[in-house]
A and B are shown apart, each in its own frame.
Chain A
């Protein structure tokens, strides 16, 4: 069975379906990041603020990710909760150059962790995005600001990224694929 699945994977056909929720404050780069995860030919150059949410499918690391790209705008954040149920992984995107709103991001993260809807052992992947901006914080600083070390019941990882170029994205998805296919 295992060999068969591997074979399918190699052919790029099979793969487990995984629901991934992408959240984060507005203008942190969620939609751009997802665009960059897609194959080159399917990427669109233009990205507008998401209203509500949008769904995409991305094949990465032998898994078929169904990505729910949530809008980060204030009025939609309380609606993220509606999608926690059934999510198998959460990607939290942080604008690491936006020091001012880091505390807002922390609040939203705390809300997310406190939610009962979110499955218990769901892996959390943090992208410290916009690392190309000179004033960007390092992933360690971001992790400290968000107090990530306090998260003990869920596996998590923080990865520096640049969604414009796609730098660092692979590293994060590989980690996710690794955790999820375990």
Chain B
């Protein structure tokens, strides 16, 4: 920004060097072939007694270029460059001085060396030339430490109100940087900064406003006050005004949403900004209004009107900005934007393709049913001129439009198939195919024409990935259509014409038709036989298999279309295990756990899962891993299904000899502790590893079995289990002291053999606790209200709790959810920012499959004390009581 005050016509680079071997006709970049070693050599000219400013500038430019390109200087190189550059400080050449300031800041040698130039800079800071002063201030502030800052503070403070805008801006910007480490000192300058806000210089005012805001950024109330005073005050500079608009938008977003008919605070001011002289302020204000949360149509109108004017502006930037903002508004308030449709239709033919694309997509969002066809025609005209990325945007817009107006699917589908035939990259084609696939899924009527289009597409498709995807879809959907026979030709053509991968996919697809459609069965057999002579193994194998199956062997017709209900992850795990154990017996698919995996699958399908969905799906996955391991143990088979597995907890410090992680599995009448053990000592093998649990503090439990780990070699993970029995269905709690017991056998480092003799040893682990949350499984409820009504009101229990000091409501909500281990419903675990009260709805199932619903009402006061009211409903009053007990104990 300092450049504003400097002579822009001054040469930054000297005239280009003339090399004999340089081709006169071609232009070289001035930075062509710059090399670090050579530049460092050249930098020696700084040491000359007679300094050539031109030459030095060139060298510094090269140094800066290298630094900007990410080249790093070693400590020694940096020191050398730095000290030689410091010798240029006395030079009178202004341009050279400017370069010196720049390079000193960038070379950045060790801190004790950079301090060298302090005195020189302080001298420059008090020089008469504004250029030196401003640059010296910038450099000084960037190299200084707190102690030195105290010494120069006086000068900086004065400079804030300096007459020269360059100097004042320099200090204000430097202060912004200083704020992170030395906020105390900057805070002392408030009066001067206030004065700078009054400055007539636009840049100074801009920076002063930014600094003033940064000083208060942590205090919402202060920001609000500041903004209030500034909006009434004398902010004239357009840049500063833009900044202010942003701060106002921030204040609006943080303030409580206006209730009822109250107009928002500052809205009037924002509206007045729409009539500002400077376009940037107008736009900033319009954008701020459009981005307000829950903006009403009435509030939007003036902003949209202004943006509409911009749409017909002669400046491309304004047109782009306006159409981009309108595009965003169209997502939430399509009606508000409809007025601009005529202007936007003109923009479709805009020279700038970004503007045109945004205009099109906005129109697609706001358009009504009648205008769809007309729009499509217009888009068709210009589709070929725009880049692939824009085409993808258009295709996505059309997809959403199609979902909005299902009746128009024919026109839209035709459009998609037309563009599908045009040239385009993979991403683009994929977007189109994805769109068609979605339409086929969502709109039943569109299925047959859609499949038809896709069939035509694969006739001439160069992307294997897309071809196989479509062939698979044809295999699934084709047999269910009215006339399956017509797809056979398309699929068989693939077997003749395509590469091996596509041929294999086509064979599978054909086989499906053969299995599902009786009339086609004989014909398919003939076609598949032809594929038996394929030159690719995979294709032949598939053809052979399917032929056998279609003829009734190897599982028969049903086997062709396998209802695959085993999750791939479990299968992969099963296969991996199988590979490790050698290949003595054939792999049994039935050994792959299906039941366990069914739960996340079911959960995923459960309707009404809202915002909270992504978080819990992560957790069960991990538990599945452990649960899958449990399934492999015959000793645990009798315990029944796992009710809940806890998250793994570390029982040892990181980086100790043995790394132990515990997972608690809760069964109907047992708790199984799974200890995952890792041996990190290379010279030892541990044998007969088990964990002894002390039940002194857990009277309800009874030890039933201990499954030791036979051998624990270096680096591998093994499991040992402890099975504890507890009264069926009860929520027994307790704390256990654990000791790892094992037999150590040394490994001879020279031979790598394990010694025969070992000795018994123990290792103290951290305590494990069984908490109530272990017995509660988070289960989402689709409609909290209806389930709540269904539960017996008799079981309801309510109580109030004080939660003490909390950072925020979110914090408190998370803590309580964590203690209860229940699932937050309807996204109620997210507290809106700055809310003073919040209601969270939790659902869960307690061991013994008892449903529990909890309604939590939180409130936070000014001193951050949080109070909570908890209402519990469940299948039984005793259960409700138990839930309250959990909170009381916590």
B98-137: contact bitstring with A at CB < 8 Å (1 yes, 0 no)?
0000000000000011011111101100000000000000
Indicate whether A161 reaches chain B with its CB closer than 8 angstroms: no
Known pairs A66-B90, A82-B83; A76 contacts B47 (CB<8 A) = no
CB distance from B51 to the nearest CB of A (A): 9
Which residue among B89, B116, B118, B119 has the maximum number of chain A CB atoms within 10 Å of its CB? B119
Give the distance to chain B from A17, nearest Cβ to Cβ, in Å: 5
Interface residues of B in 206-258 (CB under 8 A from A): none
Q: Residues 49-75 of chain A: 1 if any B CB is under 8 Å from the residue's CB, otherwise 0? A: 011111111000000001011010001
Is A75 a contact partner of B123 (Cβ separation < 8 A)? no
Is A85's CB within 8 Å of the partner chain B?
A: yes
Question: Is residue B86 contacting chain A, with contact meaning CB distance below 8 A?
Answer: yes
Tell me whether A54 and B47 are in contact in the complex, defined as CB-CB below 8 angstroms, given that A75-B112, A86-B87 are known contacts.
Answer: no
Proximity bits, B139-178, A CB within 8 Å = 1, else 0? 0000000001000000000000000000000000000000
Question: Closest CB-CB distance, B588 to chain A, in whole Å?
Answer: 76
Instruction: Using known A-B contacts A17-B50, A18-B49, A86-B48, determine if residue A52 contacts B117 with beta carbons closer than 8 Å.
Output: yes
Q: What are the residues of chain B within 8 A of A57 when measuring CB–CB?
A: 90
B17-54: which have CB < 8 Å to A?
Answer: 47-50
Contacts of B48 in A (CB 8 A): 86
**Cβ–Cβ < 8 Å partners of B90 in chain A:** 55-57, 66
- A8 within 8 A of partner (CB): no
Query: B119: which of A53, A83, A85 is its contact (CB, 8 Å)?
Result: A53
Q: Which residues of B contact A157 (CB under 8 A)?
A: none
Contact, CB under 8 Å: A51 / B87: no
- Is A79 located at the chain interface by the 8 A CB criterion? yes
In Å, the complex CA distance between A52 and B151 comes to 14
- A95–B90 Cα gap in the complex (Å)? 27
B83 x A52 contact (CB < 8 A): no
Q: For chain A, give the interface size range.
A: 20 to 34
A residues near B123, Cβ cutoff 8 Å: 54
Q: Per a CB cutoff under 8 Å, which of A52, A56, A69, A88 touches B115?
A: A52
Q: Which of B75-105 contact A (CB under 8 A)?
A: 79, 83, 86-87, 89-90
- Of B47, B90, B122, which is in contact with the most chain A CB atoms at under 10 Å from its CB? B90
Q: Are A86 and B116 in contact (CB under 8 A)?
A: no
Among residues of A, the one whose C-beta sits closest to the C-beta of B115 is A52
Q: Is B116 in contact with A76, judged by CB distance below 8 angstroms? A: yes
Q: Is A27 located at the chain interface by the 8 A CB criterion?
A: no
Q: Which residues of B contact A56 (CB under 8 A)?
A: 90
Given A51-B122, A51-B148, A55-B89, A86 and B49 touching (CB < 8 A)?
Answer: yes
B119 contact set on A, CB distance < 8 A: 50-54, 69, 71
Most A CB atoms within 10 A — which of B47, B83, B87, B123?
B87
**Are the CB atoms of B116 and A53 closer together than 8 Å?**
yes
A83 touching B83 by the CB < 8 A rule? yes
Query: Contact: A83 with B49, CB < 8 Å?
Result: no
Do B86 and A53 touch (CB < 8 A)?
Answer: yes
CB distance from A80 to the nearest CB of B (A): 10
**Complexed CA–CA distance, A74 and B120 (Å):** 18
Which of A19, A76, A82, A85 has the most CB atoms of chain B within a 10 A radius of its CB? A82
CB-nearest residue of chain B to A54: B119
Residues of chain A contacted by B115 (CB below 8 angstroms) = 51-52, 76
How far does the alpha carbon of A49 sit from the alpha carbon of B100 in the complex, in Å? 24
Contact check, A55 vs B120: say whether CB atoms are below 8 A apart: yes
Task: Please tell me if the beta carbons of A17 and B49 are within 8 angstroms of each other in the complex.
Answer: yes
- B117 — which chain A residues lie within 8 A by C-beta? 52-53
Partner of B120, one of A54, A82, A83: A54
Residues on A with C-beta less than 8 A from B50 are: 17
B568 to chain A, nearest CB (A): 65
Distance of A57 Cα from B83 Cα, bound (Å): 18
What mask results when residues 314 to 349 of chain B are scored 1 for a CB within 8 Å of chain A, else 0?
000000000000000000000000000000000000
Selected from A19, A50, A52, the residue in CB contact (under 8 A) with B49 is: A19
B: interface residue count bin: 20 to 34
Note all chain B residues with C-beta closer than 8 A to A17: 49-50
The answer to whether B120 touches A53, judged by C-beta atoms less than 8 angstroms apart, is: yes
Q: Contacts A55-B89, A66-B90 known; A79 to B49 CB distance under 8 Å?
A: no
Query: Which A residues are in CB contact (< 8 Å) with B89?
Result: 54-55
Contacts of A51 in B (CB 8 A): 115, 118-119, 122, 148
How far does the Cβ of A102 sit from chain B's closest Cβ, in whole Å?
26
Mask for B650-665, Cβ within 8 A of A = 1, else 0?
0000000000000000
Question: How far is the CB of B687 from the nearest CB of chain A, in Å?
Answer: 61
Q: Give the docked Cα–Cα distance between A76 and B118 (Å).
A: 12
Interface of chain B residues 239 through 295 with chain A (CB within 8 A): none
Q: How far is the CB of A90 from chain B (nearest CB, A)?
A: 15
Interface mask (B459-500 → A, CB under 8 Å = 1, otherwise 0): 000000000000000000000000000000000000000000
Which residue from chain B places its CB closest to the CB of A81 in the assembled complex?
A: B83
List B contacts of A54 (CB < 8 A).
89, 119-120, 123
- A contact residues around B113 at 8 Å (CB): 79
Residues of A within 8 A of B122 (CB): 51
Separation of A79 and B123 alpha carbons in the complex (Å): 20
- Given the complex of chains A and B, what is the CA–CA distance between A53 and B114 in angstroms? 11
- Chain B nearest CB from A49 CB (Å) reads 9
Residues of B within 8 A of A79 (CB): 83, 113, 116
Task: Report whether B120 and A86 are in contact in the complex, using a CB–CB cutoff of 8 Å.
Answer: no
B347 to chain A, nearest CB (A): 59
Partner of A88, one of B49, B112, B118, B120: B49
Q: How far, in Å, is A94 (CB) from chain B's closest CB?
A: 21
Is A52 a contact of B118 with CB atoms below 8 Å? Answer: yes
Hey, what's the 0/1 contact readout for A70-114 against B, CB within 8 Å counting as 1?
010001100100110110100000000000000000000000000
Which of A53, A83, A88 has the most chain B CB atoms closer than 10 A to its own CB? A53
How far is it, in angstroms, between the C-alpha of A68 and the C-alpha of B113 when the chains are bound? 16
- Chain B residues with CB under 8 Å of A66's CB are 49, 90
The one of A18, A69, A83 that contacts B87, using a Cβ cutoff of 8 Å: A83
CB distance from B212 to the nearest CB of A (A): 31
Q: Measured between alpha carbons, how far is A17 from B83 in the docked complex, in Å?
A: 20
Residues 1-43 of chain A, each 1 if its beta carbon lies under 8 Å from chain B, else 0? 0000000000000000111000000000000000000000000
| Cα–Cα, bound, A86→B47 (Å) | 6
How far, in angstroms, from A52 to B391 measured CA to CA in the complex? 61
CA distance A79 to B83 in the complex (A): 9
Q: Which single residue of chain B is at the shortest CB-CB distance from A71? A: B119
Q: What per-residue 1/0 map shows which CB atoms of B754-767 lie under 8 Å from chain A?
A: 00000000000000
- Chain A contacts of B49 at CB under 8 A? 17-19, 66, 86, 88
List the A residue with the shortest CB-CB distance to B46: A86
Question: How far apart sit A17 and B90, CA to CA, in the bound complex (Å)?
Answer: 12
Who on chain A is nearest to B117 by CB?
Answer: A52
> A18 — which chain B residues lie within 8 A by C-beta?
49
Instruction: Give the nearest-CB partner of A78 in chain B.
Output: B112
When A52-B117, A53-B120, A54-B119 are in contact, do A85 and B112 touch as well, CB less than 8 Å? no
Chain B residues with Cβ below 8 Å from A69 are: 119
In the complex, A35 Cα to B79 Cα: how many Å?
Answer: 29
Q: Closest approach, in angstroms, between the C-beta of A112 and any C-beta of chain B?
A: 16
Task: Pick the residue among B47, B86, B116, B120 that contacts A85 (CB under 8 A).
Answer: B47
Contact A52 B47 (CB under 8 A): no
Give A17 to B50 CA distance when docked, in angstroms.
7
Bound-complex Cα distance A82 to B116 (A):
11
| Nearest A residue to B92, CB-CB | A57
A52 touches B87 (CB 8 A): no
Q: In the complex, which residue of chain B has the Cβ closest to the Cβ of A86?
A: B47
Ranked nearest first, the 7 interchain pairs of A and B with the lowest CB-CB distance are: A52-B116, A55-B90, A51-B118, A82-B83, A86-B47, A54-B119, A50-B119
Q: Knowing that A54-B123, A82-B83, A83-B87 are A-B contacts, what are 11 other residue pairs whose CB atoms are under 8 Å apart, sorted by A's residue number?
A: A50-B119, A51-B122, A52-B116, A52-B119, A52-B120, A53-B120, A54-B120, A56-B90, A71-B119, A79-B113, A86-B49
Q: Could you list 11 A-B pairs, sorted by A, with CB under 8 Å? A: A17-B50, A51-B119, A51-B148, A52-B117, A53-B86, A54-B89, A54-B119, A55-B120, A79-B116, A83-B87, A86-B87
Interface residues of A (CB under 8 A from B): 17-19, 50-57, 66, 68-69, 71, 75-76, 79, 82-83, 85-86, 88
